[in-house]
Structure 1
Amino acid sequence: MTKSQPQISQPSYAPIAVLIVAAGRGSRAGEGAPKQYRRVAGKTILSHTLNAIKDALPEAVIQVVIHPDDTDLYNDAVQNHPIQPAVFGGSSRQESVFNGISALKHLEPEFILVHDAARPFVDTGTIHRLIGALKAGAQAVLPATKVTDTLKSVTEGTITHTVDRERLYAVQTPQAFSFENLLEAHSAAIGKELTDDGAVMEASGFSVQVVEGNAENFKITTAADFVKAEQILMMQLADVRVGSGYDVHRFEDGDHVWLCGVRIPFTKSLKGHSDADVGLHALTDALLASIADGDIGQHFPPSDAKWRGAPSDQFLTFARDRVRAKGGVVAHVSVCIICEKPKVGPHNPAMRSRVAELLLIDVDRVSIQATTTEKLGFTGREEGIAAQATATIRLPLKG
């Protein structure tokens, strides 16, 4: 399902704009979605990058350039980020950046930063050094780190000579510019193949300076980079919490039950104000418990008519978003369905898949089990179904 972007008020003037280039295909990252939309530590890389930019420049206007084929992926990734409507990129990076710059002209920004979507570890210090250099009069500023490895020139597998590294630097993004200067340089560079915006400025004769970058601001490119990024981000989410939930619903006349988001044909239905999905109700309470945020009855009271017959996936995604609003991620969930009938086993794969979809996590982080009570108690008498759930989440440590 396609989600629309958050609506934003259009400012009449933006002193600083940030253009995030997310139109690439990321072929070196291996099979799967383009790398900027893959999840690391529970969120897409693009979402992590947007968070880093907003932390450093909360008042900046953010524009993202995307591939036309990625609209649904993009809308899912940015649904909690108030940013400019996306624009489509072109056949080259230079063309994509030019499209993004053109979309910002009406805002008349003084400065613009151009950043790769696949660099989620940009730090506030680097961005402030870039802005400081622009305010001091620089036309173009790139973050860079001094090359420390020995460099060799190689021809057909044989070293021809050692390269003098004394004046060599590896540049990163974001790269910062006077907006008018960058627009002029890109207008002149249409049709050229230039690897970054610093090169575009150089080609037009502008002076390009460097400031100190940060070695941790690496670009996620290969499969190994994803592993490295996951390790870094999970270390930042060191507050591990576990919540539990329990729910019961009695049977009534009907022809199906809802369990963990899956409609299961049966000779009865479960009685409840909503769709009575006992599994999702228990899991919703488990997530809310993990952040000490009340329970499902407080947020969705049965006395409120608008929840009559409501699908319980609304409740679960609400709890998920409460965790995400705290900067957290869902690490693992487990649901145990307690009943004599219906048989849960045949529906287990579909249930796990649906819960994973709702929580935006991999299916191997979802466990769904079923058991009976050996004919004991109300579930043994087939009067209803019970469910218990646990949820493990990870939150940032408070400073």
Structure 2
Amino acid sequence: MRQKSIAVIVVAAGKGERASAAGSSDPKQYRMVGGVPVLTRTIQAFLDIPYIERVLPVIHPDHADRYAALGLGDDRLMPPVVGGASRQASVLEGLKALAPLRPDLVLIQDAARPFAAPDVIGDVVVVLEQYDGALPGLPVTDTIKRTLDGRHVAATEDRSQLVAAQTPQGFRFGQIFSAHMRASTIRRQFTDDAEIAEWAGLRVAMVMGDPSNIKITHPEDFARAERIIHGDQIMETRVGTGFDVHQFEPGDAVWLGGVRIPHRAKLKGHSDADVALHALTDAILGAIGEGDIGVHFPPSDMQWRGVASTVFLKHAGDLVAKARGRIVNLDVTIVCEAPRIAQHVPAMRGVIAETLGIAASRIAIKATTSETLGFTGREEGIVAMASASVEVPRVD
């Protein structure tokens, strides 16, 4: 018997606003979990399964650059298509894009579920031998109350008949495509693809879901996701400090915190001489016991001449992720008489947050003067001090 062809639609077209942490502009599917973007984890879960022939991401029209920055590469990964105004419309766009390939089966996965296990995916596929559709579900353990106004209890539901639906939800391609096309012609929004299948009269079965197959919806779900990745690993907080100084030389601008600030001089250094990012990079490296910036990027190596210091900072952040850690908070103090720093602080926080994949609310940048004392007071250079706290697995 011919092996059935299987394609996957990963629905990533939402803005993910409910899960946005304060100070973070990243939609939830592009935020980091365990040092890896959520969407990367979700897609990779299916690419890791050999019998999956195609994976098609459906993305928001404003997220093309964010998706490209993931750097995903696999022959089975199709170019993303743009989604619609609702999840239902986005799935339909994905189905239309797959139609020329005519796969036998299609799995539809929420981008915000990065922990779909191979066993769950396999169970859904197996059930499709006998049913038109299948979905993973978990028994409801809480007592469920019905309310009509959000304040008063109207009834108690029989939880023995209730399950919490998960994804991936699998279907025979032709049937679910036809059902979605029909559903798009009526004024009704369905909550998931299984509901559309039910409405269309298809037979939908359920397989046992996985408690770890969570959907990231709210900010606190990211902490839960981190716990899933690290398991019962006990974490400890480590603190590192950094200090750097650069003198002025003739020029017309300085780089501080990844931001170009017009000035009557520039800072002298082998790279862009961003004293703030150098101190911050050293602080992060110190927190995880990885030496200093000179160990990783020797000034004698000409490939780093004039390079942006965000390269150094990202490397430090990548080492934190490699150590299965996470950055808790960063604090930078810049000491100089000029240029004035305050108006540039939001931009600096934004650059650092984007470089490290953390919320800007975890970053503090302060500026002060030395009251005209010393070399900073004479405007001969700039000093930066930084501290970083990082959570890493405890090693006894």
Tell me the TM-score range normalised by the shorter chain: 0.7 to 0.9
| Greater RCO structure (CA 8 Å; 6+ sep) | 2
Question: What secondary structure, in the 3-state scheme, does the structure 2 residue paired with 1:68 have?
Answer: coil
CA displacement, residues 227-273 of structure 1 (integer Å, 9 cap, x when unaligned)? 3x133135456354434333332332334332222334444332112
**Residues 310 and 333 (structure 1), Cα distance of their counterparts in 2 relative to 1, 3 Å cut:** same
Kept after mapping to 1: 8 A contact 2:35/2:324? no
Kept after mapping to 1: 8 A contact 2:134/2:205? yes
Is the aligned partner of 1:361 residue 2:371?
no
User: How many residues are aligned here?
Assistant: 380
Distance 1:293 1:85 in 2: 38
Is the aligned partner of 1:23 residue 2:17?
no
CA displacement, residues 165-208 of structure 1 (integer Å, 9 cap, x when unaligned)? 44333322221234454345445544244432223333444321
Alignment of structure 1 residues 1-399 onto 2, 5 Å: 15-24=5-14, 37-38=27-28, 42=32, 47-52=37-42, 54-55=44-45, 58-59=48-49, 60=52, 61-72=54-65, 74-75=67-68, 78-79=70-71, 83-105=77-99, 109-120=103-114, 122-134=116-128, 137-150=130-143, 163-187=157-181, 189-192=183-186, 193=188, 194-215=190-211, 217-221=213-217, 225-227=218-220, 229-235=221-227, 238=235, 240-293=237-290, 295-324=292-321, 328-339=325-336, 344=341, 347-370=344-367, 383-395=380-392
Kept after mapping to 1: 8 A contact 2:287/2:390? yes
Shift of 1:100: 0.9
Kept after mapping to 2: 8 A contact 1:37/1:73? no
CA displacement, residues 9-52 of structure 1 (integer Å, 9 cap, x when unaligned)? xxxx9954331223345677799999981489855999325415
Distance 1:34 1:260 in 2: 17
Kept after mapping to 1: 8 A contact 2:34/2:324? no
Unaligned runs of 5+ in 1: 1-12
Distance 2:343 2:288 in 1: 33
Unaligned runs of 5+ in 2: none
Shift of 1:64: 1.9
Question: What secondary structure, in the 3-state scheme, does the structure 2 residue paired with 1:232 have?
Answer: helix
Amino acid corresponding to residue 233 of structure 1 in structure 2: A
Question: What secondary structure, in the 3-state scheme, does the structure 1 residue paired with 2:271 have?
Answer: coil
Amino acid corresponding to residue 210 of structure 1 in structure 2: M
Kept after mapping to 2: 8 A contact 1:150/1:163? yes
Question: What secondary structure, in the 3-state scheme, does the structure 1 residue paired with 2:108 have?
Answer: strand
Kept after mapping to 1: 8 A contact 2:124/2:170? yes
**Residues 335 and 81 (structure 1), Cα distance of their counterparts in 2 relative to 1, 3 Å cut:** farther
Structure 1 length-normalised TM: 0.74
Amino acid corresponding to residue 316 of structure 1 in structure 2: L
Question: What secondary structure, in the 3-state scheme, does the structure 1 residue paired with 2:120 have?
Answer: helix
Shift of 1:70: 4.2
Distance 2:337 2:120 in 1: 60
Amino acid corresponding to residue 390 of structure 1 in structure 2: S
Question: What secondary structure, in the 3-state scheme, does the structure 2 residue paired with 1:286 have?
Answer: helix
Amino acid corresponding to residue 176 of structure 1 in structure 2: G
Question: What secondary structure, in the 3-state scheme, does the structure 1 residue paired with 2:358 have?
Answer: coil
RMSD: 4.4
Amino acid corresponding to residue 51 of structure 1 in structure 2: R
**Residues 33 and 72 (structure 1), Cα distance of their counterparts in 2 relative to 1, 3 Å cut:** farther
Distance 1:333 1:354 in 2: 13
**Residues 209 and 111 (structure 1), Cα distance of their counterparts in 2 relative to 1, 3 Å cut:** same
Kept after mapping to 2: 8 A contact 1:36/1:118? no
Distance 2:347 2:138 in 1: 49
Distance 1:233 1:296 in 2: 31
Question: What secondary structure, in the 3-state scheme, does the structure 2 residue paired with 1:390 have?
Answer: strand
Structure 2 length-normalised TM: 0.74
Shift of 1:281: 1.6
Distance 1:88 1:389 in 2: 42
Distance 1:186 1:34 in 2: 34
